[in-house]
Amino acid sequence: MHQVAARGGSISLNPLSAIPIHPGFVWSQRSKSELEQPESPFLTLDMADKFFSMALLKGCTKDHPIICPMGSAAPQIEGLNFPPMLLCVVEKDLLKDIEMEYYEAMKNANKDVELFISPEMGHSFYLNKIVVDMDLVTSAKTSELIEGIKGFINKHRKCPFILFISIFLIRLIIRAYFDN
């Protein structure tokens, strides 16, 4: 999402806004949340490592800008043109620390970024339809997330295009583009 939003801002695409949901940025070394947060059915360290290896170009490490937009190999955030962004983070995510670090980097670079935190929830909690339908807390948190996104979209709907896509889909598209 970061790469697509930055590239969109540097060409005539100019998306109205970007909404990364649990974007999954990492450093090459494990963060505190990766080491201490409980794994979930939607994200384990092994799963995350496999997703990242699929998203990276051959021979690249987790320090690549696609995975680590705050790293030394990435363009400086201050020099990039971003649309307004709603960063959605969950409290019980293995990748929460790096996502929060990304939020702080965006704020420190004076980018228009808002933060939506889903307390007590884990990575991609809203994808398990059975739990969303059966568990009142998960259902309520899913509704809150949807309402937060709707509110952000309504706030920024002056233009016809909103960048709203899964980070891993974007990474796979980027990888396919650069491999050819």
What's the fold here for domain 2-179? Rossmann fold (3.40.50)
- Which DSSP helix (H) or strand (E) runs through 88? strand 85-92
CA proximity to 99, closest of 1, 5, 171: 1
* Location of structure tokens 């790293």: 71
Segment 105-131, tens digit of pLDDT: 999 999 999 999 999 999 888 888 888
Give the global pTM: 0.80
Residue 18, pLDDT > 90, answer: no
State pLDDT tens for residues 125-158. 888 888 888 999 999 999 999 889 888 888 877 6
| Per-domain residue ranges of the chain | 2-179
Confidence of residue 165 (pLDDT cuts 50, 70, 90): very low
The CA distances from residue 5 to 18, 87, 138, 157, 165, in Å, are 7, 12, 29, 16, 11
Is the Cβ–Cβ distance between 27 and 68 less than 8 Å? yes
Q: Are 100 and 108 within 8 A, CB to CB?
A: no
SS3 180: coil
* Residue 110: per-residue pLDDT: 95
Structure tokens at 135: 């568990």
Contact between 162 and 15 (Cβ < 8 Å): yes
Average pLDDT, the chain: 81
Give the per-residue pLDDT at 173. 46
Report whether 161 contacts 16 (CB < 8 A).
yes
